[in-house]
Chain A
Amino acid sequence: MTLLLIVLLPLFGSLVPLATERYGRNICAWSASIAPLISLGLLISLVPGVMAGETLRYHREWLPSLGLDLSLRLDGLGLMFALLITGIGLLVLLYARYYLSSKDSLGRLYALLQIFMLAMLGIVLSDNILLMLVFWELTSLSSFLLIGYWSHQSDARKGARMALAVTGAGGLCLLAGALLLGHIVGSFNLGDILAAGDQIRAHSLYPITLILVLLGAFTKSAQFPFHFWLPHAMSAPTPVSAYLHSATMVKAGVFLLARLYPALAGTELWFFLVSFTGLATMVYGAYTALFKHDLKGLLAYSTISHLGLITLLFGFNTQLAAAAAVFHIINHATFKASLFMAAGIIDHETGTRDMLKLHGLWKYMPHTALLAMVASAAMAGVPLLNGFLSKEMFFAESLQLEYLGSLSWIMPVLATLGALFSVAYSWRFIHDVFFNGEPVDLPKYPPHEPPRFMKVPVEMLVVLCLVVGIFPNYTVEPFMHAAASAVLGREMPEYHLALWHGFNLPLLMSGIALAGGLLLYSQRKGLFAFYERKYRSDEKLVFEARVQRSVRLAQWVTDRLENGSLQRYMALFVGSALVAGAIGIWPLQEWTGSQALTPVDPVSLIAAGLLIVGSFGTVLIHHNRFAALLLLSVVGLVVSLTFIRFSAPDLALTQISVEVVTIVLLMLALYFLPQLTPNESGRKRVARDVVLSGAAGTGVGLLCWTVLTRPFSSISDYFLENSVSGGGGSNVVNVILVDFRGFDTLGEITVLALAAVGIYAMLHGLKLPLPYVDSDGRRWAREPHPPILSVMTRVLLPLAIMVSLYIFLRGHNMPGGGFIAGLVTSVALILQYISTGTDWMQQRLRWNYRKVAASGVMIATLTGLASWLFGYPFLTSTFTYLHWPVVGKFEVASAMAFDVGVYITVVGATMLILAHLGRLAQSTHEPPATNEKGEKI
């Protein structure tokens, strides 16, 4: 529980400064420090236990199905990092109070810093690699916000975007690597993974897993060739740089190397990948750092170089090297954070970070200069400072390599070269800034010492550098011991940190580096000229150009696919469906199956011929819309006949009545639309569409053929057997609809009602151009309601209603039912509307069809709910038999009531659609007085 608290406190802490910001900067800073301070206190209280070799754990299930648990662990490594994160974090909070100008929101910076702190603590304390990844991403996101803190600056935005793109991409690789690790081990628990090192290294997926994990670590730790984002992240406020880009976030990558060391390290692949990346990064970073004129640029490249050194140490695959790496992580965090803060002070007091302008500051700010000099000396690896100790260990280890055979001398030579550059740029930092003549054109002149408390964090860190450097055994050794043991997964070999190991090769290397570095710096004029002459590319421009190019590519793809034309989307859709269908049907060996075919009779052949002619005819004459509609109805008619032919009377009845309603509807709509379709498709378009539709048709035909010629088993036997006994009806189709699958039907009539309401809404307030004449210029019929037709239909209405009632009542046992009866009723009513007009009907039939449709759905639902009253599940049906005096034995089923609901919905919805569309026609039908030619008078 304490562990959870340590991680989560900064989250609560991030809210505090936002709330207290208005009470002044001091209160804001103090209140912001409370949560990290408690976290640090809790951590310190746990130190003795961890030092004694305990591993504290907290476990809680989160998403067990994904293997993601909320489990935390605190071992030596986690403790060391957590202390760095909270400790330096507190110092940065204090420092930022004085660094930030009053224009900027201190509360926002504090909130973001603490969210970042939460993420970092999460990474180092996670006991589940998926959980670690969640925090990993959170560091990328929060660092994006922190780098872009001054969001009005273009540099800050671009730097933030670059950092997010690089570390985010690395995070994705790491996710893939973590999933592979989980796949190999069978668990995402860190303990299981660390214990399964041999199994992982022996697995065939080990190389790819290793590369993916390393990509995540290298991008985060700015290793070559992914280093370029770090210098551009320097557009962040300096406290952020000090915290993220020296002490913590960039250390997440090397932390990952340390954390997974027992699981992944120990192979040749690990050695070559990790140590050469580290070596290249170290030398390149140190070399470039020397030539940066921006203070923070120098520090950024120096950070890259030192991260390379740490990576290199992990790559060595030896126990002492790993211990040295852990040691250097601590040392680098202390001296680099203090140097960043010192650089921030100089920037703050002089208004510039340009080393071509900054000279001779010793006179103006001796105290700061002294601090910076000590920290720089630590960076250079001068004896009596912590950097010296870890560098000695590094040199010693570089001499012990076995992998390179006769080329083993390369490693110590390059190590010395890197150290040499490191001495040169450290010396440049001191000499250029604090000595070397007088300042040039400072924006703030004369500079002076910063506020007292702005120096406190620097002082504390510098004192730490000194104390560790002089008394390593009393200060850092126990921490390092615990951390290294956790990294190695076993007790660390016997080793004692000491200032003096006697005259040996590492000492000689240190001496060469120190002397060579000073010599190199003295030759700087020629070197700078050489560096400037050399071809260099600005990474930011390259990166931005690549971003722009990928944006253009994405835009191009989007424009191709999504040009706003529905017609094109339709073609793409059909094309994709074709591809998907082809992929699905391709593996089929044989088109024709084993099933015997049924014979063809002449009538069927004629009907099929009619259908084919009708379909093609519809296409061929589709420019004449009315004729196309008539041919379409032929196709519909043949389809209903097909239903009859193959034993589906219910379907045939439904199809034929829907056919009537649909054609009436289409005609009604055609009244408002152009009568002719212009011939505007080009030859190419027609050819494309013929190919697409032809292929789709062929595909459907083939699919149908392959299915129909194969044996068949159905789940329908259940329905056939239980229809009478369970549903009380012998028309199985109807029983399925209102009983077995009643719930589906309820959904379907709801959709029907919704569609009708949607249509009603769309018709509301619709104003269409009024067609007074047809396409040939003739006026519409003068007599819209012929008397004979209206009288006939009035007589027909009761008969039609009776038929529909009959169809409804018999539906449970014979072809019929609510759907069909509803459609028949609708057709009868529509006939009345057509023959006598909407107004006449409305005077006599004052129904609100919306309410009719709604009440239909309501009745069906209530029928279903009624079964709850009797303690049965929704829509359970029951039935019984009654004896009516005349009719005789008559069955009453509760499903009948449901069918009533269906019936009413169908009538309501159909009439809602047609009557309202009809009224639209009615209201525009009466033409103004015109002359014979149809012109307005």
Chain B
Amino acid sequence: MELLISIMLAVMTACGIYLMLRGRTFPVIVGLTLFTYAVNLFIFVMGRLTAGAPPIIGSGESYADPLPQALVLTAIVISFAMTAFVLVLALRARAELGNDHVDGAPVNEREDSRV
């Protein structure tokens, strides 16, 4: 199971980062969301993989580690807020700049700043 989780994380991270490296805002945000999943899951599994033992007192003999769960719970909500923020930033940038490229203009339309 540990191997499976590691592979899942590797795939999500790789895909998320690949999309974050793209030039248009929307794929970047999609990539960011994917990367967020990976990060949250990573923090969560740092409390190790415990099945059938939710950290609710009285529900069983042993309990999963509640601390990473608490950390990730707020992280999920905050990352939603951040995703929303970046998304609206992208909308605003599109309105102001007339395109949705992260650099403000697509490569072929950009003047080479070094010339």
Binding site for B on A (CB under 8 A): 559, 563-567, 570-571, 574, 597-600, 604-605, 608, 611-612, 615-616, 618-619, 622, 625, 628-629, 632, 635-636, 639, 642-643, 645-651, 654-655, 658, 661-662, 665-666, 669-670, 672-674, 677-678, 680-681, 689-690, 692-694, 696-698, 700-702, 704-705, 707-709, 712, 714-716, 719-720, 723-724, 730-733, 736-737, 741, 744-745, 748, 751-752, 755-756, 758-759, 762-763, 766-769, 813-815, 819, 823, 906, 909-910, 913, 917
- List 8 interface pairs A-B (beta carbons < 8 Å), by A numbering: A566-B103, A635-B12, A642-B8, A651-B76, A700-B9, A756-B84, A762-B89, A763-B91
Which residues of the other chain, B, contact A662 by a CB distance below 8 angstroms?
33, 80, 83-84
B-side contacts of A604, CB under 8 Å: 1, 4
Contacting pair B11 A615 (CB below 8 A): yes
Taking the closest CB of chain B, its distance from the CB of A769, in whole angstroms, is 8
Q: Which of A658, A814, A815, A917 has the most CB of B within 10 A?
A: A658
**Contact residues in A for B100 (Cβ distance below 8 Å):** 673-674
Q: Which residues of B contact A618 (CB under 8 A)?
A: 15, 19, 30, 34
Interface string of B68-101 (1 = CB under 8 A from A): 0110111011101111110111111011000010
How far, in whole Å, are A406 and B81 apart by their CA atoms in the complex?
A: 83
Contact yes or no, B18 A689, CB < 8 A: yes
Question: B77 contacts A906, CB within 8 Å?
Answer: yes
A569 to chain B, nearest CB (A): 9
Q: Are A762 and B58 touching (Cβ within 8 A)?
A: no
Q: How far is the CB of A744 from chain B (nearest CB, A)?
A: 7
Q: Is the interface of A mostly helix, strand, loop or mixed?
A: helix
The answer for the CA separation of A580 and B97 in the assembled complex, in Å, is: 35
Which residues on A sit within 8 Å (CB–CB) of B58?
730
Bound-complex Cα distance A109 to B114 (A) = 43
* Complex-state Cα separation, A823 to B76, whole angstroms: 11
Contact of B50 with A647 in the complex, beta carbons under 8 Å: yes
Q: Known contacts being A608-B4, A733-B69, is A755 close to B85, with CB within 8 Å? A: yes
A700-B13, A720-B57, A762-B89 as given contacts; A714 in contact with B47, CB under 8 Å: yes
Give the residue name and chain of the A residue nearest to B3 (CB): A705
Per a CB cutoff under 8 Å, which of B19, B83, B106 touches A619? B19
Given contacts A646-B64, A680-B106, A714-B65, contact A567 B21 (CB under 8 A): yes
Q: Identify A651's interface contact among B21, B73, B108, CB under 8 A.
A: B73
Q: Is A658's CB under 8 angstroms from B80's CB?
A: yes
User: Please, how many angstroms separate the alpha-carbon atoms of A719 and B63 in the complex?
Assistant: 11
- Please, which residues of chain A bring their CB within 8 A of the CB of B113? 563-564
Pick from A605, A628, A751: contact of B27, CB under 8 Å: A628
B66 touches A736 (CB 8 A): yes
Q: Indicate if the CB atoms of A705 and B15 lie closer than 8 Å.
A: no
Closest Cβ of chain B: how far from A742's Cβ, in Å?
A: 11
Q: Assess whether B37 is in contact with A639, with CB atoms less than 8 Å apart.
A: yes
Known: A697-B13, A906-B77. A608 touches B8 (CB 8 A): yes
**Smallest CB-CB A-B distances: 10 pairs:** A697-B14, A701-B10, A647-B64, A755-B81, A730-B57, A693-B18, A693-B17, A732-B66, A736-B70, A705-B6
- With A567-B102, A766-B91, A767-B95 as known contacts, state yes or no: A619 contacts B18, CB within 8 Å: yes
Closest A residue to B82 by beta carbon equals A755
Contacts of A769 in B (CB 8 A): 95
Tell me the bound Cα distance from A618 to B1 in angstroms: 24
Q: In the assembly, what is the distance between CA of A615 and CA of B42, in Å?
A: 16
Bound Cα distance A597, B6 (Å): 12
CA distance in complex: A753, B51 (Å): 35
Find chain A residues with CB under 8 A from B89 CB. 762
B67 → chain A, closest Cβ, in Å? 5
Min CB–CB distance A184 → chain B (angstroms): 45
Q: Quick one: which of B23, B51, B67, B95 contacts A567, CB cutoff 8 A?
A: B23
* Residue pair A672, B94 in contact (C-beta under 8 Å): yes
Q: Name the residue of chain B whose CB is nearest to the CB of A705.
A: B6
Residues of B in contact with A, size category = 35 or more
| B18 CB contacts on chain A under 8 angstroms | 619, 689-690, 692-693
Say yes or no: A768 contacts B94, CB within 8 Å.
yes
- Do residues A700 and B38 form an inter-chain contact, with CB atoms below 8 A? yes
Residues on A with C-beta less than 8 A from B44 are 643, 646, 648, 651
| In contact, B21 and A732 (Cβ under 8 angstroms) | no
The reply to whether A720 and B63 contact each other, CB–CB distance below 8 Å, is yes
CB–CB B3/A597 < 8 A: yes
| B residues less than 8 Å from A648 (CB atoms) | 44, 54, 64, 69, 72
Shortest Cβ gap from B72 to chain A (Å): 6
Q: Given A648-B44, A677-B22, A708-B45, decide whether A666 and B29 contact each other with a Cβ distance below 8 A.
A: yes
Main secondary structure of the interface of B (DSSP, over half): helix
Q: Is the beta-carbon distance between A632 and B84 smaller than 8 angstroms? A: no
Having A619-B19, A646-B50, A646-B51, one finds 12 other A-B pairs with CB under 8 Å, namely A566-B103, A567-B102, A600-B4, A647-B64, A649-B54, A654-B76, A662-B80, A673-B91, A692-B21, A697-B12, A751-B78, A758-B85
> Bound complex: CA of A556 vs CA of B56, how far in Å?
59
Could you tell me if A819 and B29 are in contact, using CB atoms closer than 8 angstroms? no
- A738's nearest neighbour on chain B, judged by CB, is B70
Q: Given A608-B8, A714-B65, A755-B84, do A629 and B49 touch, yes or no (CB 8 Å)?
A: no
Cross-chain contact A716 with B66 (CB below 8 angstroms): yes
The answer to whether A737 and B74 have CB atoms under 8 Å apart is yes
Contact of B66 among A564, A566, A720 (CB under 8 A): A720
Cα separation A666 to B83 with both chains bound (whole Å): 9
Q: Is A597 within 8 A of B2, CB to CB?
A: yes
**Contact: B91 with A669, CB < 8 Å?**
yes
A611 near B15: Cβ-Cβ < 8 Å: no
- Kindly list chain A residues whose C-beta atoms are within 8 Å of the C-beta of B16: 615, 693
Which residue of the partner chain A has the closest CB to B2? A708
Contact A693 B82 (CB under 8 A): no
Query: Residue of A at shortest CB range from B102?
Result: A566
Question: A689 to B82, alpha carbons, bound, how many Å?
Answer: 24
CB nearest neighbor in A for B37: A639
B27 touches A571 (CB 8 A): no
> Please, which residues of chain A bring their CB within 8 A of the CB of B65?
714, 716
Residues of chain B contacted by A649 (CB below 8 angstroms)? 54
Q: Report the nearest B residue to A754, measured CB to CB.
A: B81
What's the minimum C-beta distance from A857 to chain B, rounded to whole angstroms? 13
CA A705 to CA B80, docked complex, whole Å: 27
Query: Given known contacts A566-B102, A697-B11, is B23 in contact with A680 (CB within 8 Å)?
Result: yes
CA distance A748 to B77 in the complex (A): 9
Please, which residues of chain B bring their CB within 8 A of the CB of A720? 55, 57, 63, 66
Pick the most buried of B19, B100, B114: most chain A CB atoms within 10 A of its CB: B19
Tell me which residues across on chain A come within 8 A of B78, comparing CB atoms: 748, 751-752
- Measured CB to CB, the nearest residue on chain B to A764 is B92
B54 touches A597 (CB 8 A): no
* B4 neighbours in A (Cβ, 8 Å): 600, 604-605, 608
A622 & B11 in contact (Cβ 8 Å cutoff): no
Please name all residues of chain A whose beta carbon is closer than 8 Å to the beta carbon of B81 when the two chains form the complex: 751-752, 755-756, 909, 913
Which residue of B is nearest A715, CB measured?
Answer: B67
CB within 8 Å for A655 and B76 given contacts A700-B10, A707-B46? yes
A653 CB, nearest partner CB in chain B, Å: 9
Docked-complex contact A680 and B107, CB < 8 angstroms: yes
CB A732 to nearest CB in B, in angstroms, measures: 4
Whether A819 touches B1, Cβ cut-off 8 Å, given contacts A574-B17, A635-B34, A768-B95, is no
Contact in complex: A647, B51 (CB < 8 Å): yes
Q: Is the CB of B88 within 8 A of A762?
A: yes
Least Cβ–Cβ distance between A721 and chain B, in angstroms: 9
Contact in complex: A635, B57 (CB < 8 Å): no
* Residues A714 and B114 in contact in the complex (CB < 8 Å), given A618-B15, A632-B34, A819-B74: no
